[in-house]
């Protein structure tokens, strides 16, 4: 009875969640372009001592977050 091969979730969107998602999907392509423009600006403007994320050539990121690292934590 409790020997589960896969753990999953049976979840569904309600009507309001679906309506909001449809509106967000309508502007999805423009949102990706705007996020990549912002990421490029961060890359250019942040100081050199920070380790910035790099997106390989021919790839596109959705930039859920723009994480920077530092070798000097002082």
pTM of the model: 0.70
- Average pLDDT on 13-20 reads 92
- Distance, in Å, from the CA atom of 8 to the CA atom of 1, rounded to the nearest integer, reads 15
Kindly report, residue by residue over 26-42, the tens digit of the pLDDT: 999 999 999 999 999 99
Comparing 1-5, 8-12, 42-46, the range with the smallest average pLDDT is 1-5
Is 15's pLDDT higher than 90? yes
Tell me, what's the pLDDT at 72? Answer: 80
């Amino acid at each position: 009875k409790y020997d589960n091969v896969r753990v999953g979730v049976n979840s569904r969107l309600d009507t309001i969640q679906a309506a909001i998602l449809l509106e967000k999907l309508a502007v999805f392509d423009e949102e990706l372009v705007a996020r990549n423009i912002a990421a490029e600006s961060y890359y250019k403007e942040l100081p050199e001592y920070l380790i910035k994320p790099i997106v390989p050539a021919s790839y596109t990121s959705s930039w859920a977050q723009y994480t920077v690292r530092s070798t000097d934590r002082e």
